[in-house]
Amino acid sequence: MTAHLHPAPGGVGAVVASRRPALKVADVFRRHGEAYAAAHVLTPAQGRVLGALRACRTAVLGGHLEVCDTCGFERPAYNSCRNRHCPGCQALAQREWLEKRLERVLPTHHFHVVFTLPAELRPVALRNGKVVYGLIMRAAHEVLSTLGRQRLGATLGVTEVLHTWTREMLFHPHVHCVVTGGGLAMDGSRWVASSPRFLFPVAVMRKLFRGVVRRGLLRAHERGELDLGGACAEIADPRAFKRMLRGLHRKKWVVYCKPPFAGAKAVFAYLGRYTHRVAISDHRLVALTDDAATFRTRGDARLTVAPDEFIRRFLLHVLPDGFHKIRHFGLYSSTAVRQRLPAAAAALGQPRPAPEPDRATEAVAVEDVVQDLTGVDLRRCPCCETGRMLRFAVQPQPRGVQPTPLDTS
């Protein structure tokens, strides 16, 4: 895999730069991140994200100097941080993921189901992200697989993506699930289709999800796996914790199922917009000053907060190290690729999928992605428009040097 390289503006490069927003989320971190880190206690993961965004696409990470082989025109191309929380570094990863998933998608209708963690449990999730996030993702899978077996007698295909934010970057953990409208019969003999308009009763999914999460939290508490300090101190006592869980039994948990997508490929094209999304994208940031950051929420609505509050909200959504926010179950799991997935495809009248290439050795350059998406050839000289840009390595600046971002004005 080649590194992300981002050219400075000028000629053809300016065409690409004009399609990028003038302001980036990384600009907030470069201008205010050092002061924020000095004034707040960060987790190691949050500290790494803050540092990565400040250095992204600057000389700190090194890169190349591109020189035209015909006219001698020069421009820098700096490396990206490649951090999964950086909104500017997800396009290539998203494209690769989507291409791989489209090779596995089954030719049937799919439903979009969303499972949401109640507000009462958000403080617990903030202090115990790895435990609680993993629990709600497993609970969503358990609900769907259980109903698939009980009501259809079949194994479903499920892809899940964890999100933890609202459009205002507030903390709101929920799991997006794309689910096949039916499944492979338990004996593997045929495809059992669900109604094209109805998957499972939402009330039943809500009840099962509530039960699985409550039991999982109780077990985690009994095993001492939960940190219930800080804002959770009042429920640290076992009796108080059980009392809180009993109260959640009477609450109506939020689970909803959207109508099916128009075509199997539309499913993952839609999901692809979710998989590599972070709390806020660059294009939503509209203004930044020394004391305020303004970003779009819904439609034309905008929200202005202090830079410290912007950074605080962004860092709420840094995932625990090693946590997988995209998971596949049933027919879409990695263990199903060789047998159950081809059997399901055959039951649906689709030829057996060809073996997947070894993507671990493939090199995909960002220039190729940009050319596919925009038609712009970043390898052609923007000055003479006939020469080709040759690359020469540039050594990274020392970490102590103030990073200089690319000028996109």
- State the DSSP string of 379-401: TB-TTTSSSBEEEEEEPPPPTTS
Report the share of the chain in percent with pLDDT over 70.
82
Q: pTM higher than 0.75 for the full model?
A: yes
Claim to verify: residue 60 and residue 130 sit in the same structural domain:
no
Does 354 map to a domain?
Answer: no
Check residue 30 and give its pLDDT.
95
End-to-end CA distance of the chain: 30
Closest CA to 252 of 394, 116, 400, 397: 116
Claim to verify: residue 233 and residue 307 sit in the same structural domain:
no
- Structural tokens at position 237: 């006592």
User: Residue 171, exposed/middle/buried by CB under 10 A (0-12, 13-18, 19+)?
Assistant: middle
For residues 106-121, average pLDDT = 94
Question: Which residues, including other chains, have CB under 8 Å from residue 299's CB and lie 6 or more apart?
Answer: none
Is the confidence at residue 248, as pLDDT, over 70? yes
For residue 111, CA distances in Å to 146, 319, 350 come to 16, 26, 20
Claim to verify: residue 398 and residue 295 sit in the same structural domain:
yes
Claim to verify: residue 242 and residue 293 sit in the same structural domain:
no
DSSP state of 90: -
Q: pLDDT by residue (tens digit) across 262-286?
A: 676 677 677 667 777 889 999 899 9
Check residue 362 and give its pLDDT.
45
DSSP characters over 329-365: EETTSGGGTTTHHHHHHHHTTPPPPPPPP-GGG----
Claim to verify: residue 144 and residue 275 sit in the same structural domain:
yes
Claim to verify: residue 113 and residue 252 sit in the same structural domain:
yes
- What is the chain's length? 409
Collapse the DSSP code of 86 into the 3-class scheme (helix H, G, I; strand E, B; otherwise coil) and give the result.
coil
Check residue 7 and give its pLDDT.
43
Q: What's the number of domains the chain is made of? A: 2
Question: Which residues, including other chains, have CB under 8 Å from residue 192's CB and lie 6 or more apart?
Answer: 152, 153, 154, 182, 183, 184, 185
Q: pLDDT by residue (tens digit) across 350-373?
A: 865 444 544 443 445 555 655 554
Claim to verify: residue 340 and residue 393 sit in the same structural domain:
no
Claim to verify: residue 397 and residue 257 sit in the same structural domain:
no
Check residue 57 and give its pLDDT.
85
Claim to verify: residue 187 and residue 263 sit in the same structural domain:
yes
User: Across the chain, what does the average pLDDT equal?
Assistant: 84
Q: Which domain holds residue 209?
A: 107-279+318-349
Does 275 map to a domain?
Answer: yes
Claim to verify: residue 96 and residue 126 sit in the same structural domain:
no
Does 149 map to a domain?
Answer: yes
Claim to verify: residue 112 and residue 92 sit in the same structural domain:
no
More confident residue, 7 or 385: 385
Is the confidence at residue 255, as pLDDT, over 80? yes
Claim to verify: residue 294 and residue 270 sit in the same structural domain:
no
